[in-house]
Amino acid sequence: MLIKPYVSSSLKYCKNNISKERAFTLIEVLVTIVVIGIAATSIMSVFISTVKTSADPLIQQQAVSIAEAYMEEIQSQHFADPVAVETGGAEAGEARATYNDIQDYNGLSDTGAKDQNDVAIVGLTDYDITVTVTAQSLSGTTTIAAADSRRIDITVTHTVIDPIVLSGFRTNH
């Protein structure tokens, strides 16, 4: 008579479960690593390009503020020279601190932003500013002749942004 070894039913249950479990194969692990690597690379490239250009809006806003400051300074001046005959630019002996009419600013070119006394503003030396003042007629409900109207164009440039151009008009009122 053969004696069959006794195997408990709980042991049988464990054996069956172990044989049905499934693990990841080496190929599945490698494919997962490759997919995660590709995704991480693309996310990092977007992140790097965003970080690289994150200063551009600040530089652009500073350029706009510089142009607005120059425009405010120019438009606060007389339309025509109150002292001398108008030459269409700065008269002999005039420096920016003594400009007294808008046409004195025609041809102004600053390397680095400067205040109205021609003193460089710390931290804004990488900007270049040019000003042109031209006679231009205005038409609409009322026509204003070119002799009584000036167009003021201020261009601010920086190496990392496109030039900012701010234009305004001043009439002889």
Six token digits for residue 30:
């490698």
Give the tens place of pLDDT for each residue, 77-99. Answer: 999 888 877 777 888 888 888 89
Q: What is the pLDDT of residue 13?
A: 53
What type of residue sits at position 46?
Answer: V
Q: DSSP for 64-122, please give it.
A: HHHHHHHHHHHHTSBSS-SSS---SSPPTT--GGG--BGGGGTT-EEES-B-TTSPBPT
Q: What is the pLDDT of residue 97?
A: 87
Name the burial class of residue 128, with classes exposed (0-12), middle (13-18) and buried (19+) by CB atoms within 10 angstroms of its CB: middle
Give the tens place of pLDDT for each residue, 129-141. Answer: 999 999 999 888 8
pTM: 0.67
Q: What is the pLDDT of residue 50?
A: 75
Question: Which of 48-57, 63-72, 137-146 holds the top average pLDDT?
Answer: 63-72
Reported as a pLDDT band with limits 50, 70 and 90, residue 7 is low
Six token digits for residue 10:
């709980």
Percent of the chain with pLDDT strictly greater than 90: 51
CA-wise closest residue to 127 among 155, 91, 99, 108: 155
Q: What is the pLDDT of residue 103?
A: 92
